[in-house]
Amino acid sequence: MADVLKIGIAEWKQTTAPNRLRTAGLGSCVGVILYDTRLQLAAMAHVMLPDSTIARKNQTIEVGKYADTAIDALVHSLKREGATRLQAKMAGGAQMFQFKYENEAMRIGERNAEAIRQALKVHRIPLVAEDCGGHNGRTIEFDVATSVLSIRTVSVGTKEL
């Protein structure tokens, strides 16, 4: 019997087939999945912010909260389990609010997605599919056995990557 592991905001989890990984409430946040199809092993993070350097000093960093620390944690954990052929998929990064003046600080979704792309490049992990941007929230679920990412977008519908 397969379990569905739910990942909350700023969290990350890892599992094997036949389990699934799910996160909801992806607005400007990005859900990123790293997986090894040979081992049927995967990890998902619900990334809120692009860079951990904005965290206050003396603050305990939630590694799943930031793109840089989340990718590092997922890579380290999956490799510890023997993963050698990692791939990635991601979804989210919407611009949830319309502003008259596009301020760089307000483009969190776009910045989150770009930070994840950069972190994946550093680790030489191919991003094989993504569904980022737009103005609607998403819920995603990754099937570890099939490597299919189901994306349910508010007011749009469901698709698979």
Strand 12-16 and strand 41-47: the pairing is antiparallel
Neighbours of 136 (CB within 10 A): 14
- pLDDT band for position 56 (cuts 50, 70, 90): low
Using a cut of 0.85, tell me whether the model's pTM lies above it.
Answer: yes
Which position has the higher pLDDT, 30 or 52?
30
Q: What is the pLDDT of residues 26-38, one digit of tens each?
A: 999 999 999 999 9
Q: pLDDT, tens digit, for every residue of 103-136?
A: 566 689 999 999 999 999 999 999 999 999 999 9
- pLDDT confidence of residue 60: 76
Helix axis angle for 67-80 and 108-122, nearest 10°, is 40
CB 41 within 8 A of CB 89: no
By the 8 A CB rule, do 51 and 26 touch? Answer: no
Q: Give yes or no for a contact between 64 and 70, defined as CB atoms under 8 angstroms apart.
A: yes
Q: What is the pLDDT of residue 36?
A: 98
Catalytic residue, from 29, 73, 83, 119: name it.
Answer: 29
| 29 is a catalytic site residue | yes
Q: Where are the alpha helices (DSSP H) in the chain?
A: 67-80, 108-122
Contact 50, 115 (CB under 8 A): yes
Contact yes or no for 147/130 (Cβ under 8 A): no
Eight-class DSSP state of 93 = -
CB neighbours of residue 23 within 10 Å: 29
Q: The domain at 4-160 falls in which architecture? A: 2-Layer Sandwich (3.30)
Q: Position of tokens 């930070």?
A: 115
The answer to whether the Cα torsion of 153, 159, 160, 161 is positive or negative is negative
